[in-house]
A = this chain, B = another copy of it.
Amino acid sequence: MSQPQFKALADPTRRDILRLLSQQEMTIAQVCDHFTMTRAAVKKHLSVLEAGGLISSHARGRECLNRFEPAGFAPVRDWIGFFDQFWDHHLSALNSAIEKDQSDDPDRDQNKD
């Protein structure tokens, strides 16, 4: 599919999973503990993330470890980067406002200007 990373990022559950996996590798069961859906549903999300190159999974015994892959973000970062030329620094305040309004995950504290 064209640019499967974008589709992988389109679902809020998958974005949450990425947050989890960026902290540490997890088996499918471990990821499931953070959600109310079934293991099969989580597995589907993991498959989409893997198709987008945002995570990798490899077996360890009978378990299956899922690892965050920062390199998968490259195409997304690059595509977004095209629009940097339209970015005005005075929008940073708006940035914060919108982000504060729409974020449901408060543990982000990096500011990048």
Contact = CB atoms under 8 A, between A and B. Distances in A.
B15 A79 contact: yes
Interface residues of A, number: 43
A81 B99 CA distance: 12
Interface in A70-111: 70-71, 73-88, 91, 94-95, 98-99, 102-104, 108, 110
Interface in A37-77: 53, 68, 70-71, 73-77
How many copies of this chain?
Answer: 2
B70 A108 contact: no
Contacts of A11: 6
B95 A110 contact: no
A99 B71 CA distance: 11
